[in-house]
Amino acid sequence: WIWIGWYGMFVVFIPVYVFLFLPLPMTLIGEPAGFLRALSLLIWIIMTAVFSLSHLGFLLVLPGSLNPAAGGIGLAFFLVVLVQVNDAAQFIFGGITRHRKVIPKLSASRTWSGLIGGIGLTVLVAWLLAPWLTPFSGIEAIGLGVLVAITGLIGYIVFTAIKRDLEFEDRGTMTPGHGGILNRIDSLVYTVPLFYHIITYFYP
């Protein structure tokens, strides 16, 4: 659907058709024990790993007229940079200050001071990059920086709760203590769809 730009089908295919027909092959197995938990987990994985992140592909194929500065590639690059800057800043500032934690039972590295530091640095980077990569004004870039920082934290918290429930360890070697591959994409899962819809709504 991305290649042909058919967003109407894309936006309903997984949330509607996959949701309705995915349980069928699972019911044919004939084992009801744990059915709802397994189905819920599978649907959640498809919605996050496929549906949400696929909005990044739609950013890449947006018409160049929407963003004369750098096209869809510029918008996608802008968003990914902001998300990674925000994640790193919240982790670093949170580790330095170690003040009051946002969700103490879930994460020791996400603090209120880390959130403020993350917002500040993300806003600064957004403001600096916006004229080169996006059609946003300075005020719009600042607003998007705040939005990316907050929704990125929400994505991190939700994925952390899921990993705790599943007792799953997501460890990385490149940035010790900063998690593995899921920590690189958890924020994108929440920020990409929101960013895409803001772009297409305000810049049709």
Does the pLDDT of residue 169 top 70, yes or no?
no
Examine residue 134 and state whether it is found in any structural domain, yes or no: yes
Which letter does DSSP use for residue 102 in this model?
S
How far apart (Å, rounded) are the C-alpha atoms in residues 111 and 73? 33
How many structural domains compose the chain?
Answer: 1
Model confidence pLDDT, tens digit, residues 144-164: 999 999 999 899 888 888 888
pTM of this prediction? 0.84
**What one-letter code names the amino acid at 128?**
L
Look up the domain containing 54 and give its range: 7-202
- Which DSSP category does 4 fall into? T
Cα 192 from Cα 152, distance rounded (Å): 10
d(C-alpha 161, C-alpha 163), whole Å? 5
Domain-located, residue 73:
yes
- In the prediction, which pLDDT does 18 show? 87
**pLDDT at position 12:** 87
Which region among 41-55, 73-87, 125-139 has the lowest average model confidence (pLDDT)?
Answer: 41-55
Asked if residue 150 belongs to a domain, the reply is yes
1 belongs to a structural domain: no
Q: Is residue 154 part of a domain?
A: yes
Burial class (CB in 10 A: 0-12, 13-18, 19+), 119: buried
Distance, in Å, from the CA atom of 126 to the CA atom of 197, rounded to the nearest integer, reads 18
Greater pLDDT, 202 or 119:
119
Distance of alpha carbon 49 from alpha carbon 72, whole angstroms: 21
Beta-bridge partners for 111: 101
CA gap 194, 203 in Å, rounded: 14
What is the Cα Rg of the chain in Å?
Answer: 19
Does residue 24 sit within a domain?
A: yes
Q: Establish if 130 belongs to a structural domain.
A: yes
Percent of the chain with pLDDT over 70: 88
CB burial of residue 15 (10 Å; 0-12, 13-18, 19+): middle
The model's pLDDT over 176-186, given as tens digits with 9 standing for 90+, comes to 554 566 677 88
pLDDT of residue 142 exceeding 90: yes
Give the Cα separation of 154 and 146 in Å (integer). Answer: 13
For position 19, what pLDDT does the model report? 87
Q: State the DSSP string of 19-36.
A: HHHTHHHHHHTT--TTHH
